[in-house]
Amino acid sequence: MTGPVLVLVDQTETVLTNPTRELLTLARQVSPDRAPVAVWLGAPDAVDLAGLGAFGVEQVLVPDLTGVDAHAPVAAAEALAAAVAAAEPEALLFASTFVTKEVAAVLAVLLRTGAVVDGTGLSRAADGALVVEKTVFASTWTTRCAVVGGGPALLGLKSHAVEPAPVATPTAPAVVPVPVAFTPAASAVRILERTERHSDDGRPNLTDARVVVVGGRGVEGDFSLVEELADVLGGAVGATRVATDEGWIDHAAQIGQTGVSVAPRLYIGAGVSGAVHHRSGMQAAEVIVAVNTDQDAPIFEIADLGIVGDLTEVLPQAAAEIRRLRGE
């Protein structure tokens, strides 16, 4: 009998993040007869038990992190290896980020197993194998990948792989402590400084947002019009590397090859040329709208609607018209 699906829990302060809810939903979809098992790398009393119960979790494994900083990827990987030894799962699901991908790389070496990351979907093939779908080459190709060789599959999924679906009857998850024998490698990297810059602007997280409005060099230092349009649409604000390099907006807003990669339902780019480095991070958007003064800008080649115009005129007019259409 194959083991359960283990899900790595991520929380914003005290509640499960949306990607975690999606992972729990996927875990139940691929293994309907088996409750997903959660693993939490944090204080045992800080885990969102109600949130996990809403998605049918019966057990939360909590590795004992005494003596290490779980922000160090090797420490996190050793803790997860202990959880894997305890649960003997078929797969470990995690939200694909730079940090979790690094943890998965170390875990793959520790467990001598395979990892597939940046997945956009998860399903079970006719032969029982778990199959991850992912888009590659700037979203121009789709691949379907499986982990072979028997070890637990380490599978990283991006946001929006599925619509979160709570269970009809919530469960009461039990917290199961897991002892870990950390090696010196877990503390070989010393974290001298660590600052989390949580923006408190109330906007959705860039990678989770259904709508993303992006400003490029064309905003010439002023993101207020981009922010205004994002806010009327309830969206997140993103940027090109030019805009983050210039310091007009935080580095965390950079979309593209070396920034974050997004796949929202709607992407609106203003003053963005559509360089290949940027496109690889947004081409998977469902609908693309571009506003640019240059009618030959490459972004128009992939836009569902292109407005050749000055963003300082088009964006405020669009925001006002949206408010008018809503009767505000």
Partner 1 sequence: MKIVVCVKHVPDTQADRSFGADNRVARSEDDVLNELDENAVEAALTIAEEHGGEVVALTVGPAAAAGAVRKALQMGADAAVHVLDERIAGADVLGTAEVLAAAVRAVAEDGPVDLVVTGMAALDSLTSMVPAALAATLGLPALTLAAEVTVADGVVRVRRDVGEVAEVLEADLPALVSVTDQANEPRYPNFKGIMAAKKKPVRTLDLDDVALAAPALAGTRVLQAEERPARVAGEVVLDAGDGGVRLAAFLAERKFI
Ligand X SMILES: Cc1cc2nc3c(=O)[nH]c(=O)nc-3n(C[C@H](O)[C@H](O)[C@H](O)COP(=O)(O)OP(=O)(O)OC[C@H]3O[C@@H](n4cnc5c(N)ncnc54)[C@H](O)[C@@H]3O)c2cc1C
- Does residue 302 bind ligand X (CB under 6 A)? no
If one asks whether residue 108 binds partner 1 (CB under 8 A), the answer comes out as yes
Q: Is 312 in the site for ligand X (CB under 6 A)?
A: yes
Residues in a beta bridge with 287: 266
Contacts within 8 Å (CB) and 24+ apart, 282-288: 282/212, 282/214, 282/238, 282/255, 282/256, 283/138, 283/139, 283/140, 284/120, 284/135, 284/139, 285/212
Residue whose C-alpha is closest to residue 30's, from 173, 161, 168, 169: 161
Residues 298 and 84: their CA atoms lie apart, in Å, by 47
Task: Decide which of partner 1, ligand X, none touches 45; Cβ closer than 5 to 8 Å per partner kind.
Answer: none
CB of 50 to ligand X, least distance (A): 38
Q: Which of residues 279-298 bind ligand X (CB under 6 A)?
A: 281, 291-294, 297
**Binding range to ligand X, per CB under 6 A, among 22-30, 101-109, 195-203, 270-278:** 270-278
Q: Which of residues 234-263 bind ligand X (CB under 6 A)?
A: 240-243, 254-259
- Report how far apart the first and last C-alpha atoms of the chain are (Å, whole number): 58
Nearer to partner 1, 5 or 318 (CB): 318
- Tell me how crowded residue 244 is: count the other CB atoms within 10 A of its CB: 19
Stretch that binds ligand X, among 47-55, 85-93, 95-103, 266-274 (CB under 6 A): 266-274
Is residue 212 near partner 1 by the rule CB under 8 A? Answer: no
Site string for partner 1, 65-104 (x = CB under 8 A): --------xx--x-------------------xxx-xxxx
CB of 96 to partner 1, least distance (A): 10
Count of residues touching partner 1 (by CB under 8 A): 96
Do residues 285 and 232 touch, judged by C-beta distance below 8 A?
A: no
**Shortest Cβ distance from residue 68 to ligand X (Å)?**
32
Q: Rule CB under 6 A: which of 186-245 touch ligand X?
A: 216-218, 240-243
Give whichever of 180 and 272 is closer to ligand X, judged by the CB atom. 272
Which helix or strand (DSSP H or E) is residue 93 part of?
A: strand 91-95
Angstrom distances, CA of residue 8 to CA of 36, 79, 83, 314, 328 = 11, 11, 10, 43, 42
- Give the number of C-alpha atoms closer than 13 A to the C-alpha of residue 164, restricted to the C-beta side: 17
The site string for ligand X over 1-40 (x = CB under 6 A, - otherwise) reads ----------------------------------------
What gap in Å lies between CA 15 and CA 324, rounded to an integer? 36
Please give the residue ranges that form the binding site for ligand X (CB under 6 A): 216-218, 240-243, 254-259, 271-273, 275, 277-278, 281, 291-294, 297, 310-312
